[in-house]
Amino acid sequence: MRPSLHFTARSGWINDPHGITWRDGEYHAFFQYVPDRVEWAPSCHWGHASGPDLLSLRERDVVLAPGDGDDGIWTGCLMVDGDDLRIFYTAITEPDFGIGRVRVATPDAGLDGAWVKGEVVVTAPAELDLIAFRDPFIRRDGDGWRMFVGAAGRDGTAMALTWTSPDLRAWRYTGVALERSTELTEPVWMGALWECPQFVTLDGGDIMISSVWDADILHYAGYAVGGFDGDRFDAEAWGRLTYGDGLYAPSLFVDAEGAACLQFWIRGVGDHDAGWEGAHSVPYRLGLEGAVLTATPHPDVARHRGPLAIDGRVAGLAADIEWSATSGRLTVRSGGAEAVTVDKGEADAVVRVGTQQWTVPVGAAVRIILDGPVFELSSEAGVFSAVLAPLGDDLHVETTAGTGAVYPLR
């Protein structure tokens, strides 16, 4: 079954979301896409979807495809400077696709038309001994712009490299903005490569958010909190944002109200017989509580709520659940059978889905989003996802303690 509110492609494989942009009254979202197959391949495209809110996206034509010197179109970002629109993406060539190049593309007619590839604007610095280089992210830097690109040193050092530009055209390398050895494990291990390293300022603190990669294994999303002096980031604290096997490749964007947000790729959601694989999470708004990065389901989720469910019963497989308890159990049944249980303590919850079990850090208040095969749980302590197999066409939510509210989503 497909989720109804989490974005999926009509067919083929999708992974990283990127370039999410609010413009002219609608959201445009782009994503890494391999048409006509349900496994990842280096020959990625940039897919495109748009809609009036972040849970109502509809797939559109592919905007960038391999060719013209690219064997694959990997993750990047979309920049808007007035009427100047530019995609910066990772261009790869096979077989050595670990070291990418940053290439630019411009539109024929705004966000609704075709895009034309331009020059390669950034390559891996020759003086660094790298085994990986990819995923440009750009933000404003005074009157100009600053680009960050993820890199992995042969010695096991994860890095975010940085460039500056006055006009989104000419780029000057300014060095390593942030680095950390894969041998460091406390308070959180951050791997050997930061995929999709992105930087944002929240409540006076500078934050780097990235995916944690090591030896071709995708782990989770982590972050650093500190201060950025213009060229170097001084990390004062490190944290983990996602738990479980699903959430990866966070994409940072600004929503229609100007708030900093993230959306993730969810791994493991798909139907190979139907010819599709991969989904995107609900969007999350970001906050900073001391040195802890928080992610709260975006208001667009609540805008899709129906009336409060009586006795926790929902006709359909999509629901938004708010639960506050010091400890206790929440059970979700579908077709009369148990689909999920969450046993909550003061600091952790044990989540059981079928024969699988995870221990997840949680805060006092928990938010759960159900949407067909997708289960997402969030609190001030982080975000978790798992894949469900509902046995009926309804949901029944029961709790043994605390207060809760269940809303159908539509």
Whether residues 294 and 324 share a domain: the answer is: no
Gap between the Cα atoms of 109 and 344, Å rounded: 52
Domain containing residue 369: 305-408
pLDDT given at position 204: 87
Q: Is it the case that residue 230 has pLDDT exceeding 90?
A: no
Residue range 319-344: mean pLDDT, rounded: 96
Whether residues 99 and 167 share a domain: the answer is: yes
| Domain assignment of residue 7, yes or no | no
**SS3 of residue 55 by DSSP:** coil
Q: Give the model confidence (pLDDT) of 259-281 as tens digits.
A: 999 999 999 999 999 999 999 99
Q: What's 74's domain CATH number?
A: 2.115.10.20
Gap between the Cα atoms of 230 and 148, Å rounded: 12
| Domain assignment of residue 3, yes or no | no
Kindly report the average pLDDT of the chain as a whole number. 96
Q: How confident is the model at residue 337 (pLDDT cuts 50, 70, 90)?
A: very high
| The domain boundary residue, chosen from 273, 301, 329 | 301
Q: Give the model confidence (pLDDT) of 54-66 as tens digits.
A: 999 999 999 999 9
| The domain boundary residue, chosen from 301, 336, 371 | 301
Whether residues 205 and 137 share a domain: the answer is: yes
Whether residues 60 and 149 share a domain: the answer is: yes
Q: How confident is the model at residue 128 (pLDDT cuts 50, 70, 90)?
A: very high
Gap between the Cα atoms of 113 and 74, Å rounded: 20
pLDDT given at position 364: 93
| Domain assignment of residue 6, yes or no | no
Query: In which element (H, E) is residue 105 found?
Result: strand 101-107
| Domain assignment of residue 31, yes or no | yes
Whether residues 292 and 321 share a domain: the answer is: no
Residue range 376-403: mean pLDDT, rounded: 96
What's the structural domain count of the chain?
A: 2
Q: How confident is the model at residue 109 (pLDDT cuts 50, 70, 90)?
A: confident
| The domain boundary residue, chosen from 283, 301, 319 | 301
Q: How confident is the model at residue 112 (pLDDT cuts 50, 70, 90)?
A: confident
Q: Is it the case that residue 11 has pLDDT exceeding 90?
A: yes
| Domain assignment of residue 179, yes or no | yes
What's the pTM? 0.96
Q: What's 394's domain CATH number?
A: 2.60.120.560
Q: How confident is the model at residue 193 (pLDDT cuts 50, 70, 90)?
A: very high
pLDDT given at position 113: 82
Q: How confident is the model at residue 86 (pLDDT cuts 50, 70, 90)?
A: very high
Residue with the two structure tokens 């249980």? 341
Report the amino acid identity of residue 95. P
Q: What tokens were used for 300? A: 């667009």
